[in-house]
Amino acid sequence: MCLGIPGRITEMTDDLGLAVGTVDFGGVRREVCLEYVADEVRVGDYVVVHVGFAISKVDEEEAQRTFRILREMSELDDLDWLAEVADAAEAVEVPQPGAGS
């Protein structure tokens, strides 16, 4: 089974002409290739990541819905790591653009 997991972009850089960034999956951060979605995403946006590549942009509501589904899957299939990622991701407060300094 292949899964695309949503995560929030925390940093974007250019690595020799290739868009890459750090994506936070509920406290677990991974370097991800953003090249497929680079023109449509910014820091703070959510993306669906599959095998190290961001394949689409999703809104926060869709990401949270996916985390809930992943948690339910973990309860059915003993995929405890999915529940941990989903729980942590839902607990993260997402900064709103323009809020603060």
> Would you say residue 101 lies in a domain?
no
Residues of the chain with pLDDT below 70 are 1-2, 74-101
- Would you call 78 exposed, middle or buried from its count of C-beta atoms within 10 A (0-12, 13-18, 19+)? exposed
Q: Is the pTM of this model over 0.85?
A: no
Domain CATH number, residue 60: 2.30.30.140
Residue 29: Cβ-neighbour burial (10 angstroms; 0-12, 13-18, 19+): middle
In-domain check, residue 98: no
pLDDT at 72: 78
Q: Which domain holds residue 85?
A: 5-91
Q: Within a domain: residue 63?
A: yes
Per-residue pLDDT, 86? 63
Q: What was the pLDDT predicted at 101?
A: 47
Number of domains observed in the structure of the chain = 1
